[in-house]
Amino acid sequence: MKELIKKLTEAYGPSGHEEQVRALIQEEIEGLADEVRVDALGNLIALRQGDGQGRKVMLSAHMDEIGVMVTHVDEKGFLRFTRIGGVVPPTLPGNRVLFANGTVGVINVEKGIFDAVGKKLPPLEKFYIDVGAQDKDSAPVGVGDAAAFLREMSDLGDRVVAKAMDDRIGCAVLIETMRRLKKTPHQVAFVFSVQEEVGLRGARTSAFGLDPDVGIAVDVTGTGDCPEDRPMAVSLGKGPAIKVQDAGMLAHPGLKELMIRRAEEAGIPYQLEVLPMGSTDAMAIQVTREGVPAGCLSIPCRHIHSPSEMVDIRDVENAVRLMVAILENPIVW
């Protein structure tokens, strides 16, 4: 699965600009679904029909990643920019970004990194991107162009580090679930959603169109296992986390208990997640139409919303095992 994770995480795809990563996912799932389509907003939806005896299930993992967008090019060719999603300024200086046309830029801050040592980090307006242009006219990108962070995946054995684990690792779980799921009673929609990082937009529109009976998001969650982390009962390597609550939703209690039961039946290690901030596609699915019983299967992840997000491959593998166990059996509570 590491090869798949490498392909997905290194792909370009900031919110609203998911075309390249969507094309990659389409190649990976070719022949694994009864129907594949792209909706008006850009969500990639792959349908497996099942035997007609189960429920309409929507699984969602978002394709997009955080990034930046050019707001101004000065006379010397330096780019000012704004956030796409939850970009964290302390992670920016010295990092490289990649534009859709292949242009690479370096982020720095006015007066340089050394001047900022020991001081309060300046606001985003003081940062710029250097693309090596000699002047404004020679800049290869302009206002409105989007960039994602540029970083190769590193294999640390049981653990892997890359940009965009949020949420390409969820996409990897869905793809691998499609590969391993041989038979299901349910009609399953595997949704690779867009624009999650800017407001759960893709999940909202796709859930409205699909009108599922049950929804499960697959996303990352924070951990409490780094030095002086805020207390949180989630660690790398102890299994995927079954969400109980986050800042945007309370998981459906029946679905949560079903996920726990399937994990215990299959001998799959799991953790329970209570996340004090943030939410996932499950929040949007839950409040669609008259409401949808929704939950979330989370991959523990360190250093979220940085260019070096870390997951444990064993948690990813066990997330796939649990998702297959859920889909192969009745979904009842």
For residues 258-271, give the mean pLDDT.
Answer: 98
Domain 67-149 CATH (choose: 2.60.120.10, 2.40.30.40, 3.40.309.10, 3.40.190.10):
2.40.30.40
* pLDDT band at residue 112 using 50, 70 and 90 as cut-offs: confident
pLDDT digits (tens, 9 = 90+) for 207-258: 999 999 999 999 999 999 999 888 899 999 999 999 999 999 999 999 999 9
For residues 249-277, give the mean pLDDT.
Answer: 97
Asked if 176 is an active-site residue, the reply is no
Tell me the average pLDDT of the chain. 95
How is residue 71 written in tokens? 């707001």
% of the chain surpassing 70 pLDDT: 98
Delimit the domains of the chain by residue range.
2-65+163-328, 67-149
pLDDT of residue 230: 86
How is residue 267 written in tokens? 């001998």
> With 90 as the cut, is the pLDDT of residue 32 above it?
yes
With a CB cutoff of 8 Å and minimum separation 6, the contacts of 273 are 221, 233, 234, 241, 242, 243, 244, 246, 296, 298
DSSP 86-136: S--GGG-TT-EEEETTS-EEEEEETT-HHHHTTSPPPPGGGEEEE---SSG
Nearest to 131 by CA among 78, 75, 95, 92: 78
Do residues 165 and 301 make contact, with C-beta atoms less than 8 angstroms apart? yes
3-class secondary structure, 195:
coil
Alpha carbons within 13 A on the beta-carbon side of 248: 15
Do residues 223 and 235 make contact, with C-beta atoms less than 8 angstroms apart? yes
**Common-topology check for domains 2-65+163-328 and 67-149:** no
Do residues 60 and 281 make contact, with C-beta atoms less than 8 angstroms apart? yes
Q: Is the pTM of this model over 0.85?
A: yes
For residues 273-298, give the mean pLDDT.
Answer: 96
pLDDT of residue 325: 98
Determine if the peptide bond prior to 225 is cis (ω within 30°).
Answer: no
The 3-class SS string of 279-295 reads CCHHHHHHCCCCCCCEE
pLDDT of residue 192: 98
pLDDT of residue 114: 66
Using the Cα atoms of residue 274, residue 44, residue 194 and residue 70 in order, give the sign of their dihedral. Answer: positive
pLDDT of residue 50: 86
For residues 110-122, give the mean pLDDT.
Answer: 72
At 25, give phi and psi (nearest 5°).
Answer: -65, -40
- The better pLDDT of the pair 91, 66 is held by 66
Q: Tell me the C-alpha distance between 80 and 242, whole Å.
A: 40
> With 70 as the cut, is the pLDDT of residue 117 above it?
no
For residues 306-321, give the mean pLDDT.
Answer: 97
> With 90 as the cut, is the pLDDT of residue 111 above it?
no
pLDDT of residue 176: 98
Q: Tell me the C-alpha distance between 112 and 119, whole Å.
A: 12
% of the chain surpassing 90 pLDDT: 92
- The topology under which CATH files domain 2-65+163-328 is Aminopeptidase (3.40.630)
* pLDDT band at residue 314 using 50, 70 and 90 as cut-offs: very high
> With 70 as the cut, is the pLDDT of residue 13 above it?
yes
- The better pLDDT of the pair 52, 297 is held by 297
pLDDT digits (tens, 9 = 90+) for 138-187: 999 999 999 999 999 999 999 999 999 999 999 999 999 999 999 999 99
Among the listed residues 196, 197, 273, 309, the single catalytic one is: 196
- The better pLDDT of the pair 121, 89 is held by 89
Q: Tell me the C-alpha distance between 182 and 216, whole Å.
A: 19
* pLDDT band at residue 121 using 50, 70 and 90 as cut-offs: confident
